[in-house]
Amino acid sequence: MFTPEVNADILVRMEESTIAGFAIIIICLLVAMTVHEFMHAYVGYMLGDETARSEGRISLNPLKHIDPLTTILLPAFTWVFLKVLVLAAKPVPFNPRNVRYGEYGAALIALAGPLANLVLAVSASMLLHVVPLDSFGGALLDIFRRLNVALFVFNLIPIPPLDGSRVLYAFAPQPVQDFMEKIEPYGFLIIIALVLLGGLGGIVGNINTSILNILP
């Protein structure tokens, strides 16, 4: 899972200090990231692949899904120098040869993570019907649902190694699959460049807003 940029402006939604707001965003991201990766691993196991299970990835322990470089050093760098948080969890491994339904099984594994974030966003939105938005709990739930919607949308962008690329790959014609395989080694750099240059901000932001507006 790759997270979208998290702008420092979201911190003003918290009534506490900026440090407290920052800490809450980190906690929300860790929860969202952990559930996302857990679902990748669990669905892979349910589809017949033991790889993630053998590596202890069917777990709700955040430490199992943290990569020192992309989950710790990368966000520290982007926050200090760019005032945005950009991070990625440790990818959940799977063996395509062991997964039932071939490319479609791989697509189901990929979809499981973003769909988990959507479920979390819906759950937080429903809780906001009983928790006042202007309370500390309401502000926390609002940030949590916004982050999960952002993760749902961002991870479905069809650029390798984002989850959306595996979904597209399963249904794309051969020329498109060949092109995706060629750019996959550079996908991580392409994504970071697009995020930092703002190339995805407008489109992704509009989709995020549309989804937030229709949440229960």
Determine the 3-state secondary structure of 85 from DSSP: strand
Residue 141: φ, ψ to 5°? -65, -35
Catalytic residue among 5, 15, 16, 37: 37
Distance of CA 23 to the CA centre of its chain: 18
Residue found under tokens 């502000």: 139
Active site residue 37: yes
Q: Indicate the residue type of 210.
A: S
Q: Are 3 and 87 in contact (CB under 8 A)?
A: yes
| Residue 175: how many other CB atoms lie within 10 Å | 8
What would you report as the CA-atom Rg of the chain, rounded to the nearest whole angstrom? 17
Q: What is the CA angle 112-2-111, rounded to 5?
A: 15
Catalytically active residues, by annotation: 37
